[in-house]
């Protein structure tokens, strides 16, 4: 959906990524590092995409419901690993 000069896109992400994602934190979609505008219910995130990014990446060619490669925030991954280590869990 276009909002002024920006594109607003909602994505479903794996629950483990959603759990370590924060609003205004980072997430990588199809190799593009983006800022999370809003966390949505049911493991969703909302992203605002500026015109340059929309026009110069593969994000402008996405189709609703299509596959997207998702990587969670690096800091969130570190925190999850530290907390899991304290509880004795194995984290990849």
* pLDDT score for 90: 62
Q: Is the pLDDT of residue 48 over 90?
A: yes
Looking at residues 16-36, what average pLDDT do you find?
93
> How high is the pLDDT of residue 81?
81
Q: Which pLDDT band, with edges at 50, 70 and 90, does 91 fall under?
A: low
Q: Name the pLDDT band for 89 (thresholds 50, 70, 90).
A: low
Contacts 24+ apart (CB under 8 A), 36-39: 37/8
* Residue 87 confidence (pLDDT) above 90: no
- Given a cut of 90, is residue 79 above it in pLDDT? no
The reported pLDDT for the residue numbered 77 is: 79
Q: What is the dihedral of CA 24, 49, 16, 18, to 10 degrees?
A: 50
The CA angle 59-56-69, to the nearest 5 degrees, is 30
Q: Which residue has the higher pLDDT, 70 or 85?
A: 70
All domains in the chain, ordered by first residue = 2-87 (2.40.30.20)
What is the C-alpha to C-alpha distance for residues 81 and 34, in angstroms, rounded to an integer? 22
Q: Rounded CA gap, 46 and 68, in Å?
A: 14
């Amino acid at each position: 959906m276009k909002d002024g000069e920006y594109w607003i896109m909602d994505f479903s992400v794996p629950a483990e990524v959603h759990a370590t994602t924060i609003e205004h934190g980072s997430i990588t979609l199809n190799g593009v590092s983006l800022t999370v505008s809003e966390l949505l219910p049911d493991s969703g995130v909302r992203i605002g995409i500026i015109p340059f990014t929309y026009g110069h990446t593969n994000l402008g060619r996405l189709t609703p419901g299509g596959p997207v490669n998702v990587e969670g925030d690096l800091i969130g991954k570190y925190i999850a690993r530290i907390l899991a280590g304290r509880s004795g869990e194995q984290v990849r």
